[in-house]
Structure 1
Amino acid sequence: MKYLIAGLGNIGSEYAHTRHNVGFDIVDALAKAEGVPFEDERYGMVANFRHKGRVFILLKPSTYMNLSGKAINYWMKKESVPIENLLVIVDDLALPFGVLRLKAKGSDAGHNGLKNIQETFGHNQYARLRFGIGDNFRKGHQVDYVLGRWDRLEEDTLPLRFDVAHEMIKSFATIGTARTMNLYNNK
């Protein structure tokens, strides 16, 4: 069984390790933990590893956030990954910092990456793992906050939260969305 794990973000050094790129950072940390390198492929950087008989295809789209659907669609077709085996990892302003929420489906909640994926597929019936970045910004400064870097306290906490995200990703593929949600969404 193959699973496509797509961490959303924007390419370019100016976006590296910003709140909006937490999807990239989570899959980067997972690839490092599994000892697998990313390779520059069509529409993104890709790494693969096996866990409990499953193949995990990690994707960091190179199409920029607003066109993430193009890369995800390409890799789903190329690797014959069914929609129920897709997990998209995104930042979420509506969740407090570090809170992780797995959802089986749902709206784009104003997230441009999710909006483009929904437009590409024509539906929102795919799993997503939302990583809370909080909403600690002054009115009118949302873009600066989202594209800003983590503060020191957040940065120190990220490795622990990424470890939980990795557990959730593996759980999604091994025991399914519903059981993973029950195990992790209230922690």
Structure 2
Amino acid sequence: MKYLIAGLGNIGPEYALTRHNIGFMVLDRLAAQHDFKFSFERLAYTAEWKHKGRHIHFIKPTTYMNLSGKAIRYYMDAHKIPVENVLVVVDELQLDFGTLRLKPKGSHGGHNGLRNIEEVLGTAQYPRLRFGVGNDFPRGRQVDYVLAPFSNPEMDELPAILDRAGDMVLSFCTLGLQQTMNIFNQ
């Protein structure tokens, strides 16, 4: 069984610890815990790891957020991974900070990365792990908020939440979408 886990974010040190890069952060945390490394390939930083009989391909697209679909489509095709075995890890303004929700499908909700994935794949029927980053920003300042670093109190809480998100990713690959939703969705 093959899986593709796409953590969304933007490349470059100026984006490293920003809310919009939570997808990268989840995959980096998994890599550190399970001792696999990312390397630069076409359209993404990639890593492969075998876990409980599953072959998991991880990507951190280097296309920037707004063109994430291009990298996802490329690696789905390259590894012959069906859309139901793709999981997109993404920041979510509509959820309180630290809330995690696994969904089998959904709209892009104004998120440009998800919008592009939907356009490129031709469907919104793909699993996604929505990582709540909150929405504590003045009207019209959404971009500034998602491209800003987490607050110090949020940074203190982040490791435990990243661990839970990583557990959800691995559960998706081993137990499946529905069982993982039953176990982890709060």
Identify the residue that residue 71 of structure 1 maps to in structure 2. 71
Identify the residue that residue 62 of structure 1 maps to in structure 2. 62
Q: 1:95-150 CA deviation, whole Å, 9 max, x = no partner?
A: 00000000001100111000000000111111000000001112222111110000
Identify the residue that residue 183 of structure 2 maps to in structure 1. 183
The answer for unaligned runs of 5 or more in structure 2 is none
Identify the residue that residue 51 of structure 1 maps to in structure 2. 51
Aligned pairs for 1:150-169 within 5 A: 150-169=150-169
Identify the residue that residue 124 of structure 2 maps to in structure 1. 124
Identify the residue that residue 139 of structure 2 maps to in structure 1. 139
Tell me the CA shift for residue 175 of structure 1. 1.2
Identify the residue that residue 94 of structure 2 maps to in structure 1. 94
Query: CA separation in 1, counterparts of 2:129 and 2:58?
Result: 14
Detail structure 1 runs of 4+ shifted over 6 Å in the superposition.
Answer: none
Tell me the CA shift for residue 48 of structure 1. 1.2
Secondary structure class of the residue paired with 2:149:
coil
Identity rate, percent: 56
CA RMSD for the aligned pairs? 0.7
Which piece of structure 1 moves more, 92-101 or 135-144? Answer: 135-144
- The amino acid of 2:121's aligned partner reads F
Query: CA separation in 1, counterparts of 2:140 and 2:170?
Result: 38
Query: CA separation in 2, counterparts of 1:142 and 1:112?
Result: 12
Query: CA separation in 2, counterparts of 1:36 and 1:141?
Result: 37
Query: CA separation in 2, counterparts of 1:81 and 1:165?
Result: 22
- The amino acid of 1:175's aligned partner reads L
Aligned pairs for 1:23-34 within 5 A: 23-34=23-34
User: Is residue 144 of structure 2 the alignment partner of residue 149 of structure 1?
Assistant: no
Secondary structure class of the residue paired with 2:13:
coil
User: Is residue 11 of structure 2 the alignment partner of residue 11 of structure 1?
Assistant: yes
Query: CA separation in 2, counterparts of 1:143 and 1:123?
Result: 25
Tell me the CA shift for residue 90 of structure 1. 0.3
Identify the residue that residue 103 of structure 2 maps to in structure 1. 103
Structure 2 length-normalised TM: 0.98
- The amino acid of 1:173's aligned partner reads C
Query: CA separation in 2, counterparts of 1:170 and 1:12?
Result: 27
The answer for unaligned runs of 5 or more in structure 1 is none
Count of residues in Structure 1 that have an aligned counterpart in Structure 2? 186
Secondary structure class of the residue paired with 1:164:
helix
Secondary structure class of the residue paired with 2:179:
helix
Query: CA separation in 1, counterparts of 2:140 and 2:113?
Result: 21
Query: CA separation in 1, counterparts of 2:140 and 2:126?
Result: 31
- The amino acid of 2:60's aligned partner reads K
Q: 1:26-84 CA deviation, whole Å, 9 max, x = no partner?
A: 10111111101101000010011111100111100001100000000000111111111
